[in-house]
Copies of this chain bind each other. A is one copy, B any other.
């Protein structure tokens, strides 16, 4: 801050951002109350509230009524946990990479997995080439770091393929990931198609699962896996607050 410069809400946000990213307020800890920050920066609480709103919009904190303002920022090392290259998928499976990265940050990884049979929404059914009303197996996962949700996804597989197989086992991990499990069932995938929406508003359900405010944007990845004969055997959706993710691709040029 230059001497004589007025302290604006951007300045307050920048100061707090520096403290958060430098470790003064580590992930999952609480920031001082707004009233206290107001005193510290010589501003009104309204102004501090606005500054925190900025940081919240950027995913660094999550203010919670009645409780305080929680630091949700995670160091950038986590980003590489979300690589989508097929080599990484196969090597790390569904769980390994995330766990070790989170632990390396001194945080506690947690997985929530639910397996159910359900009718897919229209855009999933379309991608799977299913007729209306045909049921799927869906594996839903939620990944958290020290209680901070960082990613949710759902893998849809037609019941005709997945019914009464190892895929219905809600084990915390299928060794090698769902693609390996499908391969062992005779559905080896040879190609995939992905569509990334880098930034969109979450649905109410997504906002609730990710514990973010409805205006925090999310990144949406739709992954469609096909076997050699062109059949779609797996559709996976991934939704994550839009700053926890970096995606890498190797692309062959014809």
A186-204 contact mask (Cβ, 8 Å, vs B): 1 or 0: 0001111111111111000
- B217 pairs with A58, CB closer than 8 A: yes
- B215 pairs with A248, CB closer than 8 A: no
Q: Which of A193, A247, A253 has the most CB of B within 10 A?
A: A253
Contacts of A189 in B (CB 8 A): 253
Residue of B190, B193, B225, B253 touching A249 (CB-CB under 8 A) = B193
Q: How far is the CB of A125 from chain B (nearest CB, A)?
A: 20
Q: Chain copies in the assembly?
A: 2
Contacts of A196 in B (CB 8 A): 196, 198, 246-249
* Residue A69 interfacial (CB < 8 Å): no
Residue of B192, B194, B199 touching A242 (CB-CB under 8 A) = B199
Residue of B10, B194, B215 touching A54 (CB-CB under 8 A) = B215
- B58 pairs with A251, CB closer than 8 A: no
* Residue A86 interfacial (CB < 8 Å): yes
Q: Which of A86, A196, A198 has the most CB of B within 10 A?
A: A198
* Residue A75 interfacial (CB < 8 Å): no
A195-223 contacts to B (CB < 8 Å): 195-201, 214-215, 217, 219
Interface of A is mostly: strand
Q: A86-B253, A86-B254 are in contact. Are A217 and B191 (CB under 8 A)?
A: no
Q: How far is the CB of A237 from chain B (nearest CB, A)?
A: 15
* Residue A245 interfacial (CB < 8 Å): yes
A81-109 contact mask (Cβ, 8 Å, vs B): 1 or 0: 00000110000000000000000000000
- A246 pairs with B195, CB closer than 8 A: yes
* Residue A127 interfacial (CB < 8 Å): no
Contacts of A245 in B (CB 8 A): 198
A226-254 contacts to B (CB < 8 Å): 242-243, 245-254
Residues of A whose CB lies within 8 Å of any CB of B are 10, 54, 57-58, 86-87, 179, 189-201, 214-215, 217, 219, 225, 242-243, 245-254
List 7 A-B residue pairs with CB atoms under 8 Å apart, sorted by A's residue number: A10-B215, A189-B253, A193-B249, A195-B246, A195-B247, A198-B243, A217-B217
